[in-house]
């Protein structure tokens, strides 16, 4: 299976996505129909597990949208089970050293690039592949690995993290990063402006696309202009809450 999202980013394109935190395949399908390139099924902050997220992954695939999953941690088993149910890629929080990034890649890839456990599950179309070796090559080539820069410790060694072979995207989490700097929520504080610029520069030096979370259309446009190309727009629950507030405010004044 060709990962069109990976191709788009590698070709210098801008990809738009959104976080899905609610355990609802319908929301995934709606996001795809609206035109998002990808969704990030969030098991770190949402209730999803491998059994439930595979239905959300199916919904994304049905409508031609790339299903990325934010995993809960960097454990090899967590990454394995997420990829085995069919995620097109993983988004990994708190990658704060090159060694951690290397371990993440190793867990996400089969030999010779890694040591991901081998089993013909949903990710291999339940064995409906030309051959096991061919599937391993396909998975190594198409699986997208996205690492989070959301801690000042990780920022300090981001050049090394971004340079790891197999890391495809460096994703900046501005709110967690602001907490790490002791200025929670102040994502446009001068310290944060500098930190985000440093993260973007590190990704560019490594020749990797940079991603970031945004909360508005205006912010998305500004981040694209700044040089970010993997844009994660808000979350499903926040978008729904905003629409509800606007409806009530418009009717009741």
Residue with tokens 């970031």: 212
Residue in 45, 55, 148, 189 annotated catalytic: 45
Which residues are 20's β-sheet partners? 41
Interhelix angle for 76-84 vs 50-62, to 10°? 40
Q: What separation in angstroms does the CA of 193 have from each of 5, 10, 91, 110, 184?
A: 28, 26, 23, 38, 13
C-beta separation of 18 from 39 below 8 A: yes
Nearest to 37 by CA among 73, 80, 7: 7
C-alpha atoms less than 13 angstroms from C-alpha of 68 in its C-beta half-sphere: 30
Active site residue 148: no
DSSP 8-class letter at 66: E
Q: Name 130's Cβ contacts closer than 8 Å, sequence gap at least 6.
A: none
Active site residues: 45
């Amino acid at each position: 299976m060709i990962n069109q999202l990976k191709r788009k980013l590698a070709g210098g394109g801008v990809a738009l996505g959104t976080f899905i935190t609610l355990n609802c395949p319908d929301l995934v399908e709606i996001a795809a129909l609206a035109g998002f390139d990808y969704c990030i099924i969030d098991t770190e902050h949402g209730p999803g597990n491998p059994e439930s997220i595979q239905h959300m992954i199916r919904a994304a695939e049905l409508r031609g949208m790339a299903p990325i999953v934010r995993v809960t941690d960097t454990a090899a088993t967590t990454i394995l089970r997420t990829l085995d149910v069919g995620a097109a890629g993983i988004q990994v929080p708190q990658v704060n050293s090159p060694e951690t990034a290397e371990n993440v890649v190793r867990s996400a890839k089969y030999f010779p690039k890694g040591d991901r456990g081998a089993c013909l599950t949903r990710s291999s179309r339940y064995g409906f592949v030309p051959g096991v070796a061919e599937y391993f090559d396909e998975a190594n080539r198409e699986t997208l690995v996205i690492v989070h820069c959301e801690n000042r410790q990780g920022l300090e060694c981001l050049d090394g993290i971004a340079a790891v072979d197999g890391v495809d995207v460096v994703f900046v989490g501005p709110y967690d990063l602001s907490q790490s700097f002791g200025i929670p929520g102040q994502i446009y504080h001068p310290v944060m402006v500098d930190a985000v610029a440093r993260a973007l520069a590190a990704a560019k030096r490594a020749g990797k696309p940079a991603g970031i979370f945004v909360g508005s259309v205006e912010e998305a446009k500004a981040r694209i202009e700044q040089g970010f190309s993997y844009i994660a727009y808000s979350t499903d629950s926040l978008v729904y809450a905003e629409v509800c507030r606007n409806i009530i405010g418009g009717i009741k004044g």
